[in-house]
Amino acid sequence: MRSETAQSISRGHAPEDPSAAENGTPAFAGNGNPVIFRRLSPPQAVSPRMSEASIDVVGIGNAIVDVIAHADEAFLEKEALVKGTMALIDAERAEALYRLMGPAIEASGGSAGNTMAGLASLGGSGAYIGKVRDDLLGGVFRHDLTAQGVRFATPAATAGPGTARCLILVTGDGQRTLNTYLGACVGLGPDDIDPELIAAAQVTYLEGYLFDPPLAQQAFAKAAAIAHAAGRRVALSLSDPFCVERHRAAFGGLVDGHVDILFANEAEICALYQTEDFAAAAATVRGRVAIAALTRSAEGSLVLTAGEEHPVTAAPVARIVDTTGAGDLYAAGFLHGLTRGLPLPTCGRIGSLCAAEIISHVGARPETALSRLAAEAGLA
Amino acid sequence: MRSETAQSISRGHAPEDPSAAENGTPAFAGNGNPVIFRRLSPPQAVSPRMSEASIDVVGIGNAIVDVIAHADEAFLEKEALVKGTMALIDAERAEALYRLMGPAIEASGGSAGNTMAGLASLGGSGAYIGKVRDDLLGGVFRHDLTAQGVRFATPAATAGPGTARCLILVTGDGQRTLNTYLGACVGLGPDDIDPELIAAAQVTYLEGYLFDPPLAQQAFAKAAAIAHAAGRRVALSLSDPFCVERHRAAFGGLVDGHVDILFANEAEICALYQTEDFAAAAATVRGRVAIAALTRSAEGSLVLTAGEEHPVTAAPVARIVDTTGAGDLYAAGFLHGLTRGLPLPTCGRIGSLCAAEIISHVGARPETALSRLAAEAGLA
């Protein structure tokens, strides 16, 4: 696969062509301005193999619009929902659950989509690959990402299921419980992976949720192969403990052979190595990837390499309103620091800062310019 | 008109029939539960003519989904938008403005819709009349209102323009600037006014924005006539100073002859009486309506009757995030107090409390149970 993709890198339009960001943009959706690859400052002290990248991070994920409502614990229990996790649901269940939910707001989401929005808000240059339908929600998703400055050129599906939505129930403790109808995401396949785009990015970031739709695994493998052939790094988020259960063997193989940077929370890393002991799971993953960033909610995070261990404290939050996107935004901050060549503890602190912003309000996309927050915290 | 509508009150289904709330509910939109007319406590000390109402308030307005984004002052200036006001825009301008806007969230809105959601959140029994299209946004609007406990049985349009949307730009000072594409709202007409519903409500609440779509003025007049024929009260919100400019003569006539309770902010009451002097405008309106509730942002509000004058302080807000819905939620609190027979200063204080909640977050629908806030403040 590597030789095939290495060939195809030389074909097609240059990834720097801003008009490419307009491809496949449906009505009432596009951003009329050319997408600008913003950069707060020139890259500093990055490793030589990453020095020629024109994009910091390309994220690949399920393109989803969130439908967010408050709910009480009794509702979760009655509907047999496991708090803090993600369940896949079909269209019928989505309709039924929506009927039962309280008043909601709609906001673009998707794990890697949130991460790329966060990265752009920090001033990083990002691109996104994901599949929407050419419907109203697909237009909303595309608008929100491109308006944030993220390049998003994957064509919308013109037939088949509608744009994916995630019904999110936020309980009084700020925890979120996700119910995802994958919709058009099932159409994402290897043909949607733009080799030039992958080769042009310092980091290709893959969300673990992408293992759920059938063809996306092939897209996943193709992207990782292209990235490595171009001398780039591959990052993976484990996404959800149930997702890890569904794909443990595949994830284990990826981590051992294809992933340079791994993001996981306690439940996910423990699920991967089938242990309830976080320290044991952390010891197991150490050295299997170049960098493991393990998040621990209020206890902050632990950044591990073969030779280093950096505990990072959580950033203070006045009131936790909605934890949706906390992991996604931690990854955004961490990757932003990494692609700027900042030390690993600083990467973790930027991650904590971004996570703190996102959990202080409803929704998983930043409401404040994260670049300003980072500058105020002396982390820019 | 009064004799005609008085006759029609005796026709059709009983307004207490909860199944009526399901009429015209499109797919992915309805609330499977029968709508329950909640009441925190039995009505106290209401005037005799209002004692038999089975609904506290029925609101009539433009049914709109808000699309809310942050913007800076330069953006407003470049797009020639007047901060703090509402402009009507066509579909083409809506598309162009959306393209230029930053990342947004979608949330149900509409002035009277927000008021009814607030009233229901306080524990009041409310109903709503407004026109959506049978499309995705129409389903979202219906869901959000019925899931809040508001009865909403107006059938969706099956042809013509899509559900209305309002592009809202929130500046750093928390002020909002509205750009409304009326869409399906232009189809609301007198046939949508359910006489039994109007006759069953203590108060019929009309938003001034309803004067913009052509047929809605007839609906407006019909509803007011039915309400008075049934011995109920009619409330009007002036909505926006530009809206007052467009319809000054009509509003003036309504206030003098058909409105019992008037809501207006400083700019609106001054626009109505073509003065820049708030005290002069307040003196002019006094006695023309039974109750005038004039809101003054941080300076609170002034409640006037022919013989009484009650200044009400604003409730404290830690940080003003988005003023969208402040007036709507003041009206919700005020009307809730009024339909409970509470003293006018208390009505004003509940209004201030609800306005304070809504401006502390993005969006114009309550994120917290207002009944709990009112109870904690000793105002329930």
**pLDDT tens-digit profile of A257-270?**
899 999 999 999 99
Report residue A72 as tokens: 């009480």
CA distance linking residue B370 with residue A107, whole number of Å = 24
For A136, name the nearest residue in chain B, comparing CA atoms only.
B136
| Chain A residues in contact with B94 (beta carbon < 8 A) | 28
Of A33, A69, A144, nearest to B104 by CB-CB distance is A144
Q: Describe the strand order of the beta sheet including B291-295 as a list of residue ranges.
A: B151-152, B126-129, B55-60, B201-207, B233-237, B261-265, B291-295, B301-304, B309-312
Q: With 80 as the cut, is the pLDDT of residue A42 above it?
A: no
Query: In chain B, which residues have pLDDT < 50?
Result: 1-51
A-chain CB neighbours of B32 within 8 Å are 96, 99-100
Q: Nearest C-alpha of chain A: how many angstroms from B7?
A: 37
**Cα separation of B247 and A56, whole Å?**
54
**Shortest Cα–Cα distance, B165 to chain A (Å):** 12
DSSP annotation of A133: B
Contact present, B70 and A367 (Cβ < 8 Å)? yes
- CB nearest to B101's CB, from A70, A147, A361: A147
Nearest CA to CA, how far is A124 from chain B (Å)?
16
- Name the average pLDDT for chain B: 88
Taking residue B290's Cβ as centre, other Cβ atoms within 10 Å add up to: 15
Nearest residue, CB atoms, A102 vs list B32, B101, B147: B147
Write down all domains in chain B, each with its CATH number in brackets: 53-376 (3.40.1190.20)
Distance between CA A292 and CA A279 in Å, rounded? 13
Comparing CB atoms, the residue among A105, A135, A147 nearest residue B363 is A105
Return d(Cα A205, Cα A218) in angstroms, integer.
15
Give the integer Cα–Cα distance in Å for A61 and A223: 12
Q: Which residues of A touch B27 (CB under 8 A)?
A: 95
- The answer to whether B32 faces chain A, any CB pair under 8 Å, is yes
Cβ of A99 under 8 Å from any chain B Cβ? yes
β partners of residue A371 = none
List of chain A residues whose C-beta atoms are within 8 Å of the C-beta of residue B25? none
What DSSP string describes B111-172? HHHHHHHHHHHTT--EEEE---BSSHHHHHHHHHHHHTT-EE-PPPBSSSS--EEEEEEE-T
Q: Which residues pair with B60 in a beta bridge?
A: B129, B206
Q: DSSP letter at B329? A: H
Which residues make Cβ contacts (< 8 Å) with residue A101, sequence separation at least 6? A67, A69, A71, A167, A169, B143, B147
Inter-chain residue contact B99 with A145, CB threshold 8 Å: no
Q: What is the mean pLDDT of residues A132-158?
A: 98
Q: How buried is B51 (Cβ within 10 angstroms: 0-12 exposed, 13-18 middle, 19+ buried)?
A: exposed
**A344-358 and A111-121 helices, crossing angle to 10°:** 110
Under an 8 A CB cutoff, do A148 and B103 touch?
A: yes
Name the H helices within B203-342: 216-229, 241-246, 248-257, 266-272, 278-285, 326-339
Residue at A297: amino acid letter:
S
The answer to whether B108 touches B367, Cβ cutoff 8 Å, is no
Q: What is the pLDDT of residues A296-324, one digit of tens each?
A: 999 999 999 999 999 999 999 999 999 99
Strand, coil or helix: what is B88?
Answer: strand
Cβ distance B140 to A106 less than 8 Å, yes or no, reads: yes
Residue with tokens 């050129």: A153
Q: How far apart are CA B273 and CA B301, in angstroms?
A: 18
CB distance from A137 to chain B under 8 Å? yes
Instruction: Determine whether the interchain pair B137/A137 forms a contact, defined as Cβ–Cβ distance below 8 Å.
Output: no
Query: Which residues numbered 139-178 in A keep a CB inside 8 Å of some CB on B?
Result: 140, 143-145, 147-148
Q: Where are the alpha helices (DSSP H) in chain A?
A: 2-8, 73-78, 91-100, 111-121, 136-147, 195-200, 216-229, 241-246, 248-257, 266-272, 278-285, 326-339, 344-358, 370-376
Task: Determine the Cα–Cα distance for residues B322 and B174; give it in Å rounded to an integer.
Answer: 4
Are the beta carbons of B140 and A103 separated by less than 8 Å?
no
B108 and chain A in contact, CB less than 8 A = yes
B319 CB near a chain A CB, below 8 Å? no
What integer pLDDT is reported at residue A34 of this predicted model?
26
C-alpha distances out from residue A372 to A257, A357, B268, Å: 37, 12, 37
Contact A118, A149 (CB under 8 A): no
- Mean pLDDT along residues A240-264: 95
Chain centroid offset of residue A185 CA: 15
How far off is chain B from A52, nearest CA to CA, in Å? 30
Beta bridge partners of A205: A59, A235
Q: Which residue in A30, A96, A101 is closest to B147 by CB distance?
A: A101
Q: What is the largest CA-CA distance in chain A?
A: 56
Tokens 């809105």 found at? B109
Return the DSSP state at A47: -
Using alpha carbons only, give the angle A17, A19, A24 rounded to the nearest 5 degrees.
125
- Judged by CB atoms closer than 8 Å, whether chains meet at B361 and A363 is answered as no
Chain A residues touching B99 at Cβ < 8 A: 30-32, 143
Distance CA A14, CA A16 (A): 5
Q: Which of A60, A51, A54 is nearest to A17 (CA)?
A: A54
Can you read off the two tokens belonging to residue A44?
Answer: 């500093």
Q: Is B258 on the interface with A (CB under 8 A)?
A: no
B98: nearest CA partner in chain A: A28
Per the listing, tokens 């007036």 go with: B327
> From the CA of B278, how many Å to the nearest CA of chain A?
36
Placement of tokens 């989509």 in the chain: A113
Q: Check CB contact under 8 Å for A103 and B365.
A: yes
A189 Cβ contact partners less than 8 Å away, ≥ 6 residues apart? A215, A216, A218, A219
Interval A153-157 mean pLDDT: 98
Q: In which residue are the tokens 């006018």 written?
A: B344
The Cβ of residue B333 has, within 10 Å, a number of other Cβ atoms equal to 32
Query: Residue type for B189, please?
Result: G
Token reading at A274: 């089938």
Cβ pair A104, A136 in contact under 8 A: no
Within its chain, how far is the Cα of A250 from the centroid?
19
The more confident residue out of A18 and A235 is A235
Measured in angstroms, the CA of B156 and the nearest CA of chain A are apart by 17
Distance from CA of B310 to the nearest CA of A (A): 34
Contact state of A103 with B104 under an 8 Å Cβ cutoff: no
Minimal-distance CA residue of chain A relative to B172: A368
Q: Give the Cβ contact number of residue A314 at 10 Å.
A: 21
Q: Do A103 and B144 lie within an 8 Å CB cutoff? A: yes
Indicate yes or no: CB of A99 within 8 angstroms of CB of B31.
yes
Round to whole Å and give the CA distance between A125 and A147: 13
Question: Given A28, A98, A363, which is nearest B28 (Cβ)?
Answer: A98
Q: What is the pLDDT of residue B262?
A: 98
Give the pLDDT score at B120. Answer: 98
Measure CA of the first residue to CA of the last residue in chain B; give whole Å: 38
Element spanning B2, H or E: helix B2-8
Instruction: Verify whether the Cβ–Cβ distance A104 to B147 is below 8 Å.
Output: yes
Q: For chain B, how big is the Rg over CA atoms in Å? A: 19
Q: Sign of torsion, CA B47 B51 B54 B60?
A: negative
Q: B273 and B285 in contact (C-beta within 8 Å)?
A: yes
Which pTM value belongs to this model?
0.86
Q: Is the pLDDT of residue A206 over 90?
A: yes
**Nearest C-alpha of chain A: how many angstroms from B42?**
26
Is residue A39 predicted with pLDDT exceeding 70?
no
**Distance of alpha carbon B247 from the chain centroid:** 18
Instruction: Count Cβ atoms within 10 A of the Cβ of residue B177 and give its class: 0-12 exposed, 13-18 middle, 19 or more buried.
Output: buried
